[in-house]
Amino acid sequence: MSDRRIGFFTRFSISLVLFCSLLSLSACNPPQRVSAQERMFRDFTLEFIDQYEIPKVSYKDTLVGGLSAIAYNREQDLFYVLSDDRSRKSPARFYSFKLGIEQTTDAQIKIASFEPQDVTLLHNEAGKKYPKGEIDPEGLTISPRNTIFISSEGNPTQDIAPFIAEFELETGQKLSDLRLPQRFLPGDSSQPQGIQENLAFESLTINRIGLPEDPFRLFTATESALLQDESFEGEEQSRIRFLHYVINPVGNPVLLAEHLYLLDPAPIEVISNGLTELLALPKEGYFLSLERTYGFTGAGAKLFQVVIGNATDTSNIVSLKGNIAQVQPLQKQLLFDLQDLGIYLDNLEGMTIGPQLPDGSRSLLLISDDNFNDEQISQLLLFRLVENK
């Protein structure tokens, strides 16, 4: 046998031994299985960067406070921030803010400033400023057609219905209402139904995929369960209804579906627990949610990733009380517990994707509502949101 053939067989034998060894190792150490639920979620990392206290100031004869929602306008590099003032301290309004970011010599990113640039007063169908108590603005989102949608919680004890409406961005003039299903509106005394007091439409978000003239999706949810869905018997998870609208360029908005969102159970010392914000992510069907608690030990907040997936359409379910084993809720996964930061947390209610940071990464910002209380603050939290490939 020639030396060349001997060399060939030697190399072949070594390769065969190595292959068998690797096969044996693979058999001994099979790859970890990934559950279907784990595959459903995106692989995000959230990194805290900085916090900033927004000064309590007057701006153009309005009191800056009660900041309950925030949305970033990428084209103008401005943030639109809603005050939840019920036209009591100043007329119902939203502000535009400019964010200043700086990078220190040691590559640390800081919030340098967050200052109002303008204020827009809201006007009703008649073109008048909202009278005291007739609006409770809580949610805000910017549409692809350069308008702004705002949700109002209403006041069932005063027979003031909640609403979700579209407004002109420049003038604050109301353009139209989204039709709310009857189950969200107050019923008669013999059959209580509808929103609970101060627990209605806090969250509002739009998926902006497509051209400005294309249909787009709007999503909202109540802060807690409707009266007909709440057991009031120590139920661990409030059963919240999540609404999915399609907004068309012509014709009325269409309620496409409704799903069940289960609120995380709160510790016993918590007085208030609710879903305060939703944020639609660029990939359709994916969201971030903000759940806020408040109690004797202070405020807390958790961020979750939420997926529609194969969630049941609950539009035709009259009540979500009792056994709901046949109802598939929205799937959610804890992304970040803000109490792990070890910093003071105030009443966090707003959330938005912001501009790119100096290092090119994506920013996420949260804002708190100080309730116009001198003992609370308007707090802005800045995070880096990274999707791991």
- State how far the Cα of 165 lies from the Cα of 33, in Å rounded to an integer: 46
pLDDT tens digits, 130-167: 999 999 999 999 999 999 999 999 998 888 999 999 99
pLDDT at 254 over 80: yes
State pLDDT tens for residues 204-247.
999 987 777 789 999 999 999 999 998 766 556 899 999 999 99
Give the contacts of 272 (CB within 8 A, at least 6 positions apart).
292, 293, 294, 295
Query: What's the CA gap between 131 and 123, in Å, rounded?
Result: 10
Report which of 101, 87, 217, 209 is spatially closest to residue 155, judged by C-alpha positions: 87
The predicted-structure confidence for 163-201, as pLDDT tens digits, reads as follows 999 999 999 999 999 999 999 998 776 778 999 999 999
Q: Which residues contact 64 (CB under 8 A, 6 or more apart)?
A: 54, 55, 56, 57, 58, 83, 95, 116, 378
Which residue is listed with tokens 């159970």? Answer: 265
- The full set of domains in the chain, from first to last, is 43-387 (2.115.10)
* Contact call for residues 246 and 214 (beta carbons, < 8 A): no
Q: How far apart are CA 368 and CA 24, in angstroms?
A: 56
pLDDT of residue 236: 66
**Beta-strand runs (E) in 263-377:** 270-280, 286-295, 298-307, 331-337, 348-356, 362-368
